[in-house]
Each structure stands twice: as structure tokens, then as C-alpha cells.
């Protein structure tokens, strides 16, 4: 069985914030009680996954919505079931993506004890972060996030910072980078904000390809000055991973989208969190097996669709670094897989500006580590 990881949404799209650009909030059904994963579904999920052949390496990603809405007892159950059903010598990783506002002392102590890696959303200094990231009552959240991070630090919880690059932050690459650095945040993940309306047009808070390219070039210039060995930027790390080892460790770079599964609170399984749709439902944990999901024609077709890129991509010098980009950036609301990514211009700008420099860094790494192919 091909190894795979899980992205689990135990509270579905439920969240204590209402960030204007959130792509998942539409999955929250009005008039229904707050969605919560039951102990029954959780146990089936962990037991079945840990009985698969993952080379004794099991990766759980807890996301939402806001997963900390589940409360500490839920995550105590997670560890209980992982201990119960994990094979001897199993390596288990738990990642959790959070807005950071609900972190408590008890929760942080638990995450630290069991080596959870947290991704905390923070878009920059207060005036940038608070523009879109507000509570249900439309109050700013920057100070709440910083309070949560302080609690994580107190309990030695490993964390990185997730920065969504939207129309308000895309021209602030240097300022955001230096702000994160000044706060002692040395692990960054920059995510382009591209969301489409019902007419398949980008929302106002989305960015253009050219803006993304300029942002990344400015970010690279700040990083390469003196921080190559101090600050980890996930995209840059992934480029170097490919150049040094020939491996892809982020899904959008690969030529097939059969990378992981999304599990919703009710046990429904989907191929990608950008494509949690009825027509892409693979089945439910109560009635299906992971073999069923892996061999599902829907899953396999979705995965192969990644390679149906635009003909323009065939002559691109950077095809091996994106394979047409994430399907979300091509398909939008109802587009075709062969549609050129809305970020294509930006990726080409960025790679033209930086690739030779990345290659030199990669060569230096290979030399230092005595890596030969």
C-alpha cells in the first residue's frame, strides 16, 4: 500500500473567527448543531489508519475550521487511541493548524508533552493581521494570537507561523518578514490567497500572479541576505529538497494529486481539502476501507487530473517545480484542469529570478553532506 497522510477536520468548518477570506466556512451548514467528531469515528479513524502499511510512520494533521474547539479531552483521546492501536516502534506525528486564540495552559502543556507541531496563523503586524482576521463579533485578533503563542513558548511547544498572502499583505513582503524575524519566529509558511466567486472570478481579497511573483522575489532577497541557515521558509525548503534529493515534499509540486486524504467530522473521506465536494466523496470510514479509498476511481481520476496541465506548461523551464500548479489555482470554481494557473506568471517570475541561486545553494548542501547521484 502506498503511504499516505491524513488531514482531519474534527470540528469541520466550525470556527470562533470569521476571517473574510476563509475558503472552508461555506462547509458549515446553517441551522445544524456544531459539528464534532464522535469518539466512535475517532477510534475507527485511528485504528484503521494504524493498521495500514505506512512503513511504521503515521502522520495525522488536525485542521478546521478551528480544531481546538474540540477541547483538550478530544486530543487526550487521540493519544489514547494512537497508543492503543499503534504497532510496536511506530513513529507518530501530530500536526495541528490553529488560529491560536483558544490555546490554554493545559492544552499547551499537553501539546508539548506529546510533541505536537502547531501551525499558527498570523498575517503580520496588527494592522495587517487584523484587517481580515476578526472574531465572530468582528473584533481584532492579533493580541489573542500573540497571547496563544506566548503560552506555547512557555510549554516548549514547537510551532511555525502560517502567513496568508492576501491583497492587503502582498505588497508588504519585507515588512512582514522582518516583523516575523523581530518576534523570534523562524519557521514561516507563506500561502497565496486565491479564492473564486460563483462566476469563477477571483474575490477582491485574492492576489494576482504578478503580485505573488513580486512578493516571493522580495521575500527571497530578505532571506538570502543573512538568514539562509537561520530561518526556514517552507517553499524555499521544498525547492531545495527537490534540487538536493529529487523529492517533492509539498503536494502542489508533484504531477499527481493522490497525496493524502481529508477526513471530515462525520467520517466522510475526500481527496483534498480544497475539493471537499459531493462529487468527490470517496466514502465513509464506517463502511469503507483505506484500500477502497486508495483504489477509488474518483480518487485516481482526481489524482491523474493534475497532469492535464495547459499546453503552455510543456515548454516551461520550471514544469518540474509545479507541474501546472495546484489544481485549485487552475480549476477555480468550475474551470478546466487545462486552464493556466492564475499564479503562473508569478511562479515564472520567481523561478527566473531565484532558481540559479537555489541551485548554487543546493550544490553547497550536496557538497557539505557528501551527496552524489
Measured at the CA of 114, the angle between CA 113 and CA 115, to 5 degrees, comes to 95
Other Cβ atoms within 10 Å of 181 Cβ, number? 16
CA of residue 108 relative to chain centroid, distance? 21
Cα 247 to Cα 348: distance, rounded to the nearest angstrom:
20
CA distances from 13 to 100, 215, 370 (A): 16, 29, 46
Which is it for strands 117-121 and 268-270: parallel, antiparallel or unpaired?
A: unpaired
C-alpha–C-alpha distance, residues 23 and 41, integer Å: 25
Checking DSSP bridges between strand 5-9 and strand 283-284, what pairing results, if any? unpaired
DSSP 8-state class, residue 134 = B
Residue 317: CB atoms within 10 Å:
10
Dig out the grid coordinates for 128 from the structure.
495587517
Given 14, 39, 266, 273, which residue is catalytic?
Answer: 273
Active site residue 291: no
d(CA 84, CA 128): 44
Q: In angstroms, rounded to a whole number, what is the distance separating the alpha carbons of residues 221 and 75?
A: 40
The label of the residue with cell 492579533 reads 142
Residue from 94, 90, 148 nearest 116 by CA = 94
Tally of CB atoms within 10 A around 213: 22
Show which residues are catalytic: 273
Amino acid at each position: 500500500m502506498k503511504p499516505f497522510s491524513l488531514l482531519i477536520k474534527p470540528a469541520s468548518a466550525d470556527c470562533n473567527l470569521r476571517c473574510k477570506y476563509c475558503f472552508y466556512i461555506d462547509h458549515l451548514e446553517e441551522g445544524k448543531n456544531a459539528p464534532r467528531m464522535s469518539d466512535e469515528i475517532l477510534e475507527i479513524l485511528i485504528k484503521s489508519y494504524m493498521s495500514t502499511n505506512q512503513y511504521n510512520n503515521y502522520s495525522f494533521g488536525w485542521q478546521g475550521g478551528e480544531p481546538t474547539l474540540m477541547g483538550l479531552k478530544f486530543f487526550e483521546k487521540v493519544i489514547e487511541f494512537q497508543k492503543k492501536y499503534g504497532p510496536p516502534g511506530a513513529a507518530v506525528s501530530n500536526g495541528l493548524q490553529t488560529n491560536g486564540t483558544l490555546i490554554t495552559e493545559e492544552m499547551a502543556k499537553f501539546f508539548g508533552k506529546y510533541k505536537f507541531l502547531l501551525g499558527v496563523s498570523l498575517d503580520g503586524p496588527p494592522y495587517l493581521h487584523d484587517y481580515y482576521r476578526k472574531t465572530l463579533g468582528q473584533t481584532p485578533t492579533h493580541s489573542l494570537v500573540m497571547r496563544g503563542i506566548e503560552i506555547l513558548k512557555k510549554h516548549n511547544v514547537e510551532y511555525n507561523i502560517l502567513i496568508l498572502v492576501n491583497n492587503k499583505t502582498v505588497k508588504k513582503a519585507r515588512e512582514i518578514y522582518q516583523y516575523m524575524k523581530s518576534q523570534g519566529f523562524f519557521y514561516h509558511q507563506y500561502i497565496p490567497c486565491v479564492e473564486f466567486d460563483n462566476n469563477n472570478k477571483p474575490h477582491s481579497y485574492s492576489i494576482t500572479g504578478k503580485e505573488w511573483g513580486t512578493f516571493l522575489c522580495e521575500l527571497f532577497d530578505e532571506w538570502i541576505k543573512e538568514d539562509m541557515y537561520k530561518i526556514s521558509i517552507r517553499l524555499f525548503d521544498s525547492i531545495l529538497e527537490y534540487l538536493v534529493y529529487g523529492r517533492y515534499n509539498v503536494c502542489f509540486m508533484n504531477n499527481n494529486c493522490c497525496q493524502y486524504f481529508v477526513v471530515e467530522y462525520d467520517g466522510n473521506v475526500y481527496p483534498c481539502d480544497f475539493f471537499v465536494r459531493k462529487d468527490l466523496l470517496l466514502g465513509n470510514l464506517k463502511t469503507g476501507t483505506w484500500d477502497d479509498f486508495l483504489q477509488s476511481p474518483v480518487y485516481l481520476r482526481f489524482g491523474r487530473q493534475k497532469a492535464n496541465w495547459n499546453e503552455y506548461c510543456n515548454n516551461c523551464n520550471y514544469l518540474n517545480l509545479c507541474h501546472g500548479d495546484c489544481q485549485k489555482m487552475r480549476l477555480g470554481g468550475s474551470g478546466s484542469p487545462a486552464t493556466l494557473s492564475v499564479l503562473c506568471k508569478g511562479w515564472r517570475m520567481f523561478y527566473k529570478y531565484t532558481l540559479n541561486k537555489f541551485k548554487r545553494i543546493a550544490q553547497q548542501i550536496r557538497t557539505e553532506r557528501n551527496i552524489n547521484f
